[in-house]
A = this chain, B = another copy of it.
């Protein structure tokens, strides 16, 4: 396409501007002692279910808020979270395929930051675009799930790179799906040597405790 060179230049400007805004977000979060998680995943891997389990596990110990990224103005996920009496801000990206630092800042401006210790940011369900946009988060998390298949780290390496924790959800479906955990883990380890790896089931609750303990330790370090 004739416009490709010009487009690349502008995208680079936007990415630089986004990185600057992400840094400002992180500085503000740090000043308030808030730990921010960027939760990324394919649609339907269980991001919202994981956030709900995390809230159920930790809401008595720490103050939690959620920023919910969605491409469409439906409140299916936000309603589930606000039903747990947790502050939640939904960001409708208007069809865009990822959150960016500016959207997250707008979300932060709608929250009482002094009351928050843990901010969970649920990104748009997408294994490609969110990888390029930092938000100001302190930890990047990808949620994969057993039915998606064990080859995803090899096929979508950009989003599986630079992770602080890797969650493999829906392990209750292991008996019914062909999934080689060693092959999957090898792909994760090649991109993220020594990354924290959590196998769990948001349906049965198996493995949630270890994940919650990991977050709690991170919050207390802030």
Contacts and interface: CB of A to CB of B under 8 A. Distances in A.
A58 to B, nearest CB: 24
A214 B3 CA distance: 39
Given A126-B128, A170-B147, A97 B95 contact: no
B128 A70 contact: no
Contact of A13 (B3, B17, B76, B77): B3
Interface residues of A, number: 46
Contacts of A77: 155
A44 to B, nearest CB: 3
B173 A42 contact: no
Contacts of A3: 10, 13-14, 17
A182 interface: no
B127 A126 contact: yes
Contacts of A196: none
B74 A44 contact: no
Contacts of A151: 76
Interface in A18-54: 18, 42-44
Interface of A: 1-3, 6-7, 10, 13-14, 17-18, 42-44, 70-72, 74, 76-77, 95-97, 102, 124-129, 145-149, 151-152, 154-158, 170, 172-173, 176-177
16 contacts: A1-B18, A2-B17, A6-B10, A7-B14, A42-B42, A42-B125, A44-B145, A44-B152, A70-B155, A72-B155, A72-B156, A124-B128, A125-B156, A126-B126, A126-B128, A126-B129
Closest 8 A-B residue pairs measured CB to CB? A44-B148, A147-B147, A97-B128, A42-B43, A44-B149, A43-B127, A97-B129, A74-B154
